[in-house]
Every structure is written in C-alpha cells, then in structure tokens.
Amino acid sequence: MKKNLIIVESPTKSKTITKFLGKNYAVTASMGHLRDLPKSTLGVDVENGFEPKYINIRGKGDLIRSLKAEAAKADKVYLATDPDREGEAISWHLAHILGLDETDPCRIEFHEITSNAVKEALKHPRTIDRAMVDAQQTRRIIDRLVGYKLSPLLWRKVRKGLSAGRVQSVAVKIIADRDKAIAEFVPEEFWTIRAKLREDAKAPIFTAEVMKKAGTKLELHNAQDALAVEADLKQAAYKVEAAFRKNVSRRALPPFTTSTLQQEASHKLNFTTRRTMMVAQQLYEGVNVGKSSAGLITYMRTDSTRLAAEATDSIREFVTQLFGPEYCPEKPNTFSNKNNAQDAHEAIRPTSVARTPSEMEPYLTKEQYLLYKLIWDRTMACQMTPAQYEQTTLTIGAGDYELKAVGSVMTFDGHLRLADKKELNAEKQVEVPFIKSGTELVLHKVLPGEQHFTEPPAHYTEASLVKKMEEEGIGRPSTYSPIIQTIQTRGYVAREGKKLMATELGVKVADMLTGHFGDIINIPYSARMENELDAIAAHQADMKKILSDFYGPFEELLEEADKVIPKDPPPLELSGEKCELCGKDMVIREGRFGKFQACSGFPQCHNTKPLLVKIGVPCPNCGGEVTERRTRTGRVFYGCENYPVCEFVSWDKPTTQPCPVCGKQLLERKEGNGKVKYFCSDPECENAAPKRAGRKKKVTTASLLEGEGENSGTGQVKKSAAKKKATKKKTATGKRTRKAAAKK
C-alpha cells in the first residue's frame, strides 16, 4: 500500500485532518517557517540581484530531521500549508529542505478543514506558485532592508535597542497625528432647541427640533441666543408645511472579512485583534465535535465578501427552514468588495450553517463560542431580507422658524431577527404621527435649550486603526494584527483601555523617520507597495525590478539622513535626586512607557525608580502632592508622592474642586464614550463613584506597580503561580463538563 505524507503548519490542523483520511495517509506539522534570513547579518546580497541567503532556523534541527525521515518513507509528499502567500512560501521552503521538485504537483490547497474539502484538494494537487512565493519574498526582503538599515541609524541618533519598520512606522505616525489633533482641538459651544407639539388636546405628543430661521440654518452659540429663540417659540403659531411618509429598508451587512471581523469582535466582544485571530485560528483548524472533528469556519485571512454558490444555497435553505420564506429574499444577496481587495478566498463563514452556535456551545470554550456565534449570525443575516421601517417626516413652520420632526418605526425585522437585544435597543424608534400639510398644531411645551460642545476626533482603537489601514490600503488581512502587536511591543504605542496612544518615544521615532524618509515611509507609498506585491503574485510585475526601484532611492535617503541628523544624542537630564545605592546623580531616561529615573553610574549601578509626575493637586488623604504613574501594562493611575507612608491610589484623576455634598475633593472619571464625570473621593459620601465591575481585590499602589489589580478588559494581570495553576485546573474542569454534556 502506498504511503502518502501531508505536511501542514500546525499540530491541531494535523490532528483534525488525520481523522478524515485512511491509514495510507500520515499527517504532520512543520510548525510554521523552517527557513528564514539570518538574524546576525543582513542576509540579502544587494549587489547581486537582492539574492536572499536563507538558513534553517535555529532550534528547528530536530523537527527538520524528523520531517526528512517521514518524507523519505513516503511515496508521495503533499504540502498543505495555509492558502496565502506566507503559506506558499513555507511550502517552497519545505520543498527545498526535503529535496522535492517544486515543478511537481505536490501542493494542495483548501479553504476549510472539512472531510470533503481535504479529499477534494487531494484530487487536484498543483505545483508551487512561484509568483506568490516571490511576492512574499519581496515583502520579507524590503522589511529586512528597512529594519537592518534604519535601526542602526536610530541607535546612533535616538537610543540603542530601537528598531524600525516600514509599515509599523506609518501606523505609529497615524496614531501620533490623531493624538496631536486631539491635543490641539478647541471645543465650540452650540445649543439645540426642541418643542413638544400635538395636533389637538387628545392627539399624541411628538418632538420637533428647530432647524432654520428665515430660511437659513439656525446656529446658536450661547445661552442668551437660546433663551431668545425659546421666547419666540412660546409666542409662535405652529403649522405643518410639509409631510412625507415612506418605507425605508435596511440591508444586511456583508459576511466578515478579516478586517470587519476584527472590528466587530472589538466592538461587541472586547477582543483585541490578536485575540480575535488566535480564536479564529482555533475554529479554522478544528475542534472535537462529539465523535468527529472538523474546522468550524473557513480561512480567516481574507479581504473578500464573496460566498461560494453552494454555501449561499445552504444558507438560504437554512434561513427558510428556521424563520420562514418571508425571511429569505427571492435572489441571493451579493456584496461588492473593496477596490484593492485580492479576492483570493471566500468571506469568513461557518463551514456548515447547520452547526448552530447553541449546538456547538458544549464543545467550545467561552471565547470560541462567542466568536463562532458572531460569525454564524453575520453569515446567516447576510442572506436574509432587509429590515423594513416606516419613516415619517414633518416640516413645521413657526413664524420665522422652521422645525423638523422625524420618526421611524420598524414594520418588519428581517435580518435583525438575529440581532441581540443591545443592538435592537440601540435602534432609536421614534413615533411621529402623519399629519397632513396645512394642519395647525398646538404647542404643548418648549423644552429648555440643550448646551453642547463639539467633540475632538476619537483616539484610535485597534478596531478603528484596522479600518483606517484597510481604507488607506496599508498592509493586508494577514498583517493587521502583527502590525498592531509590534508597535505596542516596541513601546511606540501604549494601550489605555481601548485607546491607542503614541508614546513620546513613538512620536520621536515616527517624526524622524517620516521627516527624513517621507518618500518611502508614508501612507501613499505603503499602499502602492501593497499593490506592487499583488502585481507580483498575479504574474504582472518583476520581483527584482521592484526591489531595485525601492532600494536605490532608499539608500540615497539613508546617506542624506546620516549627514543631516545630529550625531550626538542630547545630554542626559538630571532629575535632582541622588542614587540611594551608590550616591551618584539620578538621570531621566526614556523607556517603553515613558520617562523614568536611572542611576548615572550605569552599568555599574542598575538602580531605577519611577519619575513622579506631579499634577498640582493635593492628596485627599495626607495633603501631599498627587503624582501620575503607570502600571507595567502602561495604564495611568494616580498615587500620593508620600507612598508608602500614604497609600492613596486611584484610577480617577483627583481635582481641586470640592464635592457639592460633603466638601471633600472630587475625582474626575473619563467614561468609555469620552464623557467626563465627577465623583467624591470619600467612599462613604453619597456622591462617591460606583464600584468598577469585576474588581474584587483591593487595589494598592504596590499592586499596581507590580502589574496587578487590572481587569482583563483594561490590561493584562500579572498572575501568581498559584493563580495560574488554579485557572488551568478550572479550565480543564470546564472542558470535562462540556464533554460530558455533549455525550449526554
């Protein structure tokens, strides 16, 4: 009997596929890349056609020997790495290591890990697509050239140990520019006026807002103007000047791409991009479903909203079966892709919509279930009929003023049948009666004017940054999450709650790189480079020409920057304190999460301590000055300068304002929606802040500096060994319980 070897990337995937195939197939995993450019040298011969010099990755020797032994025993080797450029490159490297002929049909590709998909792929092996390999090599070589040429420049000009990246630097610049716009934003005051009206004393009351005066848009910028309008409205006669009623439909959103999945998981599940992709990978590679095993979703790195015809048919059939024919449109819903989409794979969807979230829940972890339900709901909804609304609009005259009342009521839920309660509650349904034009109205009440202020642009979150990168054509589905992870790991961006903010170091590096390498490290060039990589993969561009066109200008900019940027780093700033260990001056240095104090006697003395940033507010407990500090995860908190004598600590910023109830200091709290609220610093006061959800352990300055005391939603918690062990035991118990329930 012939023995066939299938090589995939991960052990989980190999276990799933093994259950689909007979004894004449062996499945093993390469554990990702086995060859790469060397870390110790550039690894690219720029003088000879940018030839890369690959070596086997250190620590993979035993695995390589094992794969060679397995391949030697097999009659046929199939390379089944992921169906993207990275996966194609891994197959190409595997072919080189195992001595396979890349022109032989040894490559198989499937976009879902199901029995049918794998068996069908084995019937149609193909040769390795060298164009896709070259596209991946081009990205790798350019990133290596940028990193290994720019990083030494940063070491000389800014600080040792820094690293630079082509796309990452653009992402940091995007965040830094938004932070600057927020800092420079000047709010403007404006007022809105509304009135409650009715047709007669027995008719329902509705609300209309003042829109115009004498035919021009009404703009109110102070309370006096608002009071004048209120006075006019109280004396005015009201009459309907125009009335419209129409039916409005709201189509379902398209199925998920990588970008939209990451955004929706952030909004609804509070998942980071990294967490989303990790859980999606688990669902794709396969889970045990009773006695069988299968991948529950299709490949999760895609920019396409396209669904296979067979999948569309099965979804429509299931919609009709579950909800009735009125929920299934006559023709399948179709969605257009973005202009720069590669459309190489289907949208992200369940491999079988018959596997409902409720049926799969016993076999999944909580995270897996939540993400699977999100994908299942979106996929089903995309092939359902639109939600229908009846919209009523009244234009009302009141002397010189024009008011408008707009109402919208859902008449058929359509795809919103699958929406959760929060989403439905967010649907602002306002009933406005349809009143014929020319009808006189009765004023019930003029509402007091509402004061508003224009708001600054919001800080970027991981979700909004992914959306921005996709809109600008920066990166591709497989790179969004690594880019965001890298800029945080390097200390160029700090995450506070959901907000991403450029650190002082990040601003400095981004300004230097975009200032001196603006022709290469910018949004348009990054987008153009992605298009060129797509062209290489599509056999429409030459790898060496694109590398040559990039490297020539880059080398010139590098030489110019080395001359222009001052060589000597700025002198170290004294903090005014002495080192407790050796008596030398303490100096201010900059680290991942900002500035700190370090001994000037380094490396002989390694003493460091926080740089206390005073905010000019007295401590509510002892009267000392309150200082701003950061946890090990970069989150800001406030503590007394007299710690450990005084243990005052707060997530909320202390102010000098007195509490209107008891007279003690108020704390300023910024809500997730950007609004600012004030609470008393005395926990016994009736105006005290409500306790934050999920926090049971007492938070102290010491625990925060150790990295403890934070929710999973706001930062990582440093767990003790005992806590980790308890968590692991609890998880294992939960899995056993779910398996037992599944068997029943």
Q: Give the residue numbers marked as catalytic.
A: 299
Residue with tokens 């709290």: 669
Length of the chain: 744
3-state secondary structure 235-281: HCCEEEEEEEEEEEEECCCCCECHHHHHHHHHHHHCCCHHHHHHHHH
Report the C-alpha gap between 591 and 598 in whole angstroms.
Answer: 11
Residue type (1 letter), 481: S
Report the C-alpha gap between 675 and 653 in whole angstroms.
Answer: 14
4-8 vs 25-29, strand pairing mode: parallel
Q: Is the dihedral of CA 120, 125, 129, 133 positive or negative?
A: positive
Residue type (1 letter), 600: S
371: tokens are: 């993400």
Under 8 Å between Cβ of 648 and 621: yes
Report the C-alpha gap between 699 and 714 in whole angstroms.
Answer: 14
Q: Is 204 exposed, middle or buried (0-12, 13-18, 19+ CB in 10 A)?
A: exposed
Chain-centroid distance, C-alpha 307 = 24
153: tokens are: 């420049």
Q: Is 422 helix (H, G, I), strand (E, B) or coil?
A: helix
Cα→Cα distances 90→8, 9, 87, 445, 640, Å: 10, 9, 5, 71, 54
Q: Which segments within 508-552 are labelled E, that is strand?
A: none
Report the C-alpha gap between 255 and 306 in whole angstroms.
Answer: 8
Chain-centroid distance, C-alpha 339 = 21
Under 8 Å between Cβ of 637 and 646: no
DSSP code for 414: G
Contacts by 245-249 with C-beta closer than 8 Å and gap 24+?
245/390, 245/391, 245/392, 245/393, 245/434, 246/390, 246/391, 247/388, 247/389, 247/390, 247/391, 247/411, 248/388, 248/389, 248/390, 248/391, 248/408, 249/386, 249/387, 249/388, 249/389, 249/414
Angle at 276 between CA 471 and CA 255, to 5 degrees: 55
Residue closest to 170 by CA, chosen among 496, 592, 578, 479: 479
Cis ω on the peptide bond leading into residue 350 (within 30° of 0)? no
DSSP code for 479: T
271: tokens are: 């998942």
Task: For residue 496, report the phi and psi dihedrals to the nearest 5 degrees.
Answer: -120, 105
CA torsion angle 503 508 510 511 (round to 10): 140
DSSP code for 456: P
Report the C-alpha gap between 718 and 705 in whole angstroms.
Answer: 11
